[in-house]
């Protein structure tokens, strides 16, 4: 089955630690995205990548970093510089052109 | 003024009713319009994808776009308890690879 796999589903970390969220897709999509979802705030774009070894900041990139070394993988690192890291993180991908986004099932990150 | 406005609800209707969900937007450049359904602790699932103005039907779901009024709707006929979820509208101007602009979502409850 083609799809987007995010792992782990739940992640717990202590304040001050960096943490990396995994996103893998087998849809052969060119573009990949990371969104953050908070209650009452909707989805906000963190980073996106159109092609391997290239990525752009979204609306709320501060405190986050990404890499795109392989077409199928787009990991997100939440650094200790992110002031409010506790959130639901969603990875998405899109085929070329103006096709819609397809989402993974998210990672719930809790930082205490 | 926010780019996309969507009533957060909750919207509670009895089983079998017709449901109407709506979004308004301010950016006249938007050309591609999507509706996603999101169950609790899951990623958004694409329901409908339309280009420009007009109607699109898929089973019990109908999407309407009125670009002149900057207004989009999703109708659900013969609503079922399994339709209880948060519905997100999303839109995009096209031609680039940046992300979608989302509404904050409407929480829908179908009462058995």
Q: Which helix or strand (DSSP H or E) is residue A13 part of? A: strand A10-13
Taking residues A61-84, what's their average pLDDT?
A: 96
Taking residues B17-37, what's their average pLDDT?
A: 95
pLDDT for residue B19 is more than 90: yes
pLDDT at A44: 93
pLDDT at B100: 85
Taking residues A61-90, what's their average pLDDT?
A: 96
Residue of B95 and A24 predicted with greater confidence: A24
In eight-state DSSP terms, residue A63 is T
In DSSP terms, which residues pair with A48 in a beta bridge? A33, A56
What DSSP letter does each residue of B24-73 carry, written as one string? EE--TT--EEEEEEE-TTS--EEEEEEESSEEEEETTEEEEEETTTTEEE
How close does chain B come to A15, measured CA to CA in Å? 23
In the stretch 37-76 of chain A, residues with CB closer than 8 A to chain B read 40-43, 45, 48, 50, 56, 58
pLDDT for residue B97 is more than 80: no
Taking residues B68-84, what's their average pLDDT?
A: 97
Taking residues B26-52, what's their average pLDDT?
A: 94
pLDDT at A1: 61
The chain-wide mean pLDDT, for chain A, equals: 93
Residue among A75, A84, A88, A87 nearest A21 (CA): A75
pLDDT for residue A29 is more than 70: yes
Contact with chain B for residue A106, Cβ under 8 A: yes
Percentage of chain A modeled with pLDDT above 70: 99
């Amino acid at each position: 089955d083609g799809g987007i796999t995010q792992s782990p589903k739940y992640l717990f970390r202590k304040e001050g630690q960096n943490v990396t969220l995994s996103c893998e897709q087998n849809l052969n999509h060119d573009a990949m995205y990371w969104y953050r979802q908070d209650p009452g705030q909707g989805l906000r774009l963190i980073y996106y990548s159109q092609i391997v070894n290239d990525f752009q900041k979204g609306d709320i990139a501060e405190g986050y970093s990404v890499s795109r070394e392989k077409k199928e993988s787009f990991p997100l690192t939440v650094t200790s510089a992110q002031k409010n890291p506790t959130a639901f993180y969603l990875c998405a991908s899109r085929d070329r052109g103006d096709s819609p986004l397809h989402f993974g099932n998210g990672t719930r990150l809790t930082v205490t | 003024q926010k780019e996309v406005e969507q009533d957060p609800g909750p919207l509670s209707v009895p089983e079998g009713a017709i449901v109407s969900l709506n979004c308004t937007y301010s950016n006249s450049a938007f050309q591609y319009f999507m509706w996603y359904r999101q169950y609790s602790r899951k990623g958004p699932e694409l329901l409908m994808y339309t280009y420009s103005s007009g109607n699109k039907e898929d089973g019990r779901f109908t999407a309407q776009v009125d670009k002149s009024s900057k207004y989009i709707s999703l109708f659900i006929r013969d609503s079922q308890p399994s339709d209880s979820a948060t519905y997100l509208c999303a839109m995009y101007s096209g031609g680039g690879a940046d992300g979608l602009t989302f509404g904050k979502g409407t929480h829908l409850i179908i009462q058995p």
